[in-house]
Every structure is written in structure tokens, then in C-alpha cells.
Chains A and B, each alone.
Chain A
């Protein structure tokens, strides 16, 4: 939709909003992410679950109104599974993903800089081994089919409806299971 400088300006404004949101939602802090993975703090889990439930319904509606189209990078079963496992292993050590590392650095947590250096090293490493990856994990399985949209939202065969319902059920469970405390 947007091109050139308009695209750049929009990206900067959305980036500022995203950074603001990461701090306000506590996603930028290591301690709150640690507590989420330890299943001690339900606030971040509730934020992510609500985003999932609300977002799936919103995206379905916008696609139905033809305001947006599906934009998903091609996924491979083994690449996604191995990638998720390795990322999970890394998350258990640093509790930061790229956007939260930048946000933590902006909030003065200078130790996040080490994570950013590690991330750049990984990009270089993948660049070096890219030919080996093409002939291994990307060739073990065919690309996963692009998601198909169901005709009616309130249909039992619509996966979006199930995601929304399960997210709501999980939210109600978390509401009663966790005693939320403000962490920083």
C-alpha cells in the first residue's frame, strides 16, 4: 500500500508504538519473561493469549472484508520444529527475542547488547551454512500449505473459531489460576 518515504515514516511510527507497547506490557523485561516461562506470572501469558484470540478474529474479519490478504513466509515442518526448539533453548538463557532486545537496550538494560551481538553472529553463521541447509532440513519436507480461510466464522470447520474459543477458555483458566503481581 505504501511506498518510499511514506513507507519509511510509517515503519518508524509503528516501531515507536511497538517499543512503547513492549515496555508497557512488560515484554521488554527479562524478569517478567522468566516468570512467564516458569509459569509463575500469568500477566504476559494473558496478554499473548488475548492477542492470539482477538488477533485471529480481527485478521479473519479484515481478510473477509478484503482489506488485507494472507502474507505468510513459506514454512517447512522440520525447519519450523527444529527452529522453534533451538529458539526455545536460546530463550531459556537470555529471555529475549530480537524486538525485546532492542526495547530492553532502549530502556537502559545494556546487557541486552550481548544478545544483539549473538543474533548478528547467528545471521552470519546461517549465511555461511545456507547451502548445507538447503540440501538438508529444507528438503526433508514439502512446504506447508498456505492457510485457507473458511467461508463462515461461526462454522465448526473454521480453525479461527476454535483458536478464539480455546484462547478465551485458557484466559478464564489463567484468570483464576494466577495471582498477578507487577514485575519489572
Chain B
């Protein structure tokens, strides 16, 4: 029971992450990732917007293996956080005072950061998990992506921390 409620060691986490990627390569014959799932949802949203503007009946979202994976992550995270007592409703990423300031920061950092993360992933051609899977298969493109991504993220995070802008949860 403690295995479900407590934290896991990094050996177990790292090992299971690799086993999961290997299992996906075996079962799906593809690099698993959120890229395809989010593109399918994006296409669905575009199609739904057209159906609404044309007063047509709205179709249900596509349940394919990529979107199923996405839904599974949500359910798994929900279950794990409830079991370990970490499930908390949080509207703002920072605990600083001032509702307008933290609202603006949450929206701008979330929207801008998410936009840039996905833009970079789209340019490189795969999701983050897909890039990790590529790195395990010794793909040159994935290694270039991951090294540049971690170097830039770490450099800017340290720079922002020194200026006191990165904030906490």
C-alpha cells in the first residue's frame, strides 16, 4: 500500500520510464507522445468550429489510440495524486500576494510558455516523450533537441531566478 501512497525512488522512476517507452515501441511500433493526440484534438476543435458556424450537428471527439493515451495520463495523474494526498485545486502558479498580479503572471507564463514549448516541439517534429524515446534509440536529432532545450531552459531559469522572477508553486 505504501508503494501507492508514497514517493518512488529515482531508480524505479527512471527504470519504469524506459520500460514504458520500450513497451510502446513494441506494442505500437511508433514513438509514443502527445504530439499526435494534441494535433487530433486541434483538428477536432477546428472541425467543430466549422460545424457550429454552419449550424450542423456536432460530432463526438475522436477516440483513437493517441487521444486515449492523453486521457489515460489525466486519469493516472488524478488517481496517483488522490492516493498520495497531493490532489489540490490550484488556480495560480505563484503564492505571491495580489490577485491581479498573480492572475496575469499565471495566464501570460502559461500561455506564452505553452505556446513556445509546443512551437519548438512542432518544429523539431515530435513530442517531448517522443524526443526522449528518440534519444534512447540514439537519434541525432533528438539529442540535439534535448541538449539545446535543457541548456536554454536551465540558463534562462537561473537568469530569471537571479532577477527574482521565476516564482514558486
Q: Give the complex CA separation of A182 and B72 in angstroms.
A: 26
In the assembled complex, how far is the CB of residue B5 from the closest CB belonging to chain A, in whole angstroms?
10
Neighbour of A79 across the interface among B68, B125, B132, CB < 8 A? B125
Query: Are B11 and A126 in contact (CB-based, < 8 A)?
Result: no
Query: Are B157 and A34 in contact (CB-based, < 8 A)?
Result: yes
| SS class, residues of chain A in contact with chain B | helix
Q: Give the complex CA separation of A146 and B69 in angstroms.
A: 26
Known contacts A73-B125, A77-B141, A111-B93; A90 and B74 CB within 8 A of each other: no
Query: Are A85 and B149 in contact (CB-based, < 8 A)?
Result: yes
Q: Give the complex CA separation of A97 and B149 in angstroms.
A: 11
Q: Interface readout for B11-43 with A: 1 if CB under 8 Å, 0 if not?
A: 101111111111111111111111100110110
Query: Are B141 and A119 in contact (CB-based, < 8 A)?
Result: no
Instruction: Assign chain A's interface to a size class.
Output: 35 or more
A74 CB contacts on chain B under 8 angstroms = 125, 141
Known contacts A94-B109, A99-B73; A124 and B42 CB within 8 A of each other: yes
Q: Does A139 contact B (CB under 8 A)?
A: no
A157 CB contacts on chain B under 8 angstroms = none
Number of A-B contacts (CB under 8 A): 450
A155 CB contacts on chain B under 8 angstroms = none
Instruction: Assign chain B's interface to a size class.
Output: 35 or more
- Which residues of chain A in 66-98 are interfacial with respect to chain B, using CB atoms and an 8 Å cutoff? 67-77, 79-98
Residue among A12, A133, A182 facing the most chain B CB atoms (10 A cut-off): A12
Tell me the nearest residue of chain B to A74, going by C-beta.
B125
B140 CB contacts on chain A under 8 angstroms = 75, 77, 80, 144-145, 147
Query: Are B157 and A38 in contact (CB-based, < 8 A)?
Result: yes
Query: Are B14 and A56 in contact (CB-based, < 8 A)?
Result: no
Query: Are A94 and B119 in contact (CB-based, < 8 A)?
Result: no
Query: Are B19 and A58 in contact (CB-based, < 8 A)?
Result: yes
Query: Are B72 and A91 in contact (CB-based, < 8 A)?
Result: no
Query: Are A87 and B149 in contact (CB-based, < 8 A)?
Result: yes
Q: Give the complex CA separation of A50 and B78 in angstroms.
A: 26
In the assembled complex, how far is the CB of residue B79 from the closest CB belonging to chain A, in whole angstroms?
7
Known contacts A31-B169, A46-B10; A84 and B69 CB within 8 A of each other: no
Q: Give the complex CA separation of A94 and B160 in angstroms.
A: 12
Known contacts A90-B112, A93-B113; A10 and B119 CB within 8 A of each other: no
Tell me the A residues contacting B by CB distance below 8 Å. 1-2, 7-26, 28-31, 34, 37-39, 43-44, 46-52, 54-56, 58-59, 62, 67-77, 79-99, 101-127, 133, 137, 144-147, 159-160, 163, 182, 184
25 A-B residue pairs with Cβ-Cβ distance under 8 Å, sorted by A, are: A8-B64, A8-B65, A11-B68, A20-B76, A22-B73, A38-B161, A55-B22, A72-B139, A73-B134, A75-B125, A83-B123, A83-B145, A87-B119, A91-B149, A93-B112, A97-B129, A98-B121, A99-B73, A103-B74, A109-B90, A111-B93, A120-B45, A123-B118, A126-B123, A137-B123
Q: Which 9 A-B pairs give the minimum distances between C-beta atoms?
A: A75-B141, A15-B72, A19-B76, A94-B113, A114-B110, A118-B114, A90-B116, A88-B152, A87-B120
